Amino acid sequence: MMEGMERPTRVLFVCLGNICRSPLAEGAFRKLLRERGLEAHFEVDSAGTGAWHAGEPMDPRARRVLEAEGAYFPHVARAMTREDALYYDHILVMDRENLAEVLRRFPEARGKVRLLLDYLGGGEVKDPYYGDYQDCLEAYWTVEAACKAFLEAHGPKGASPAGGA
């Protein structure tokens, strides 16, 4: 049945610079969609609240984590825009600072923006930027679990993998 297929659900992951946490979340979510055959149901991107890293590739540690987890995708960092705030259905941010900045700069995002970890009961995704590979890996596992919970809440009915997960 094609119900709910008018257009894909639009999801934007947001962190500070768009080189660590939001690409990790985007990669994890894209992998989940691929594994469950749901790519056609979602449009996914990521952005930063700032433009410090715009035009740069993701952090090398984040890239290594995504490659190791089978979740790598080509990525170029960019800053969130007002158009993003209007376009996306769900804007999932990594920490309270990101949340406050998105709401301050883009009041249109109110009602669409929330902490990604709200889907796991609350909290913030620790920024691995000043850490090492293990910190990036732990951030990936955290965002992957939250993306699974988000997908359970907002995916098409019957989208759970066979046998649950």
Active site residues: 15, 21, 127
Residues 6+ apart with CB under 8 A from 43: 8, 9, 10, 11
Are 43 and 11 within 8 A, CB to CB? yes
Sort 48 into a burial class: Cβ within 10 Å, 0-12 / 13-18 / 19+: buried
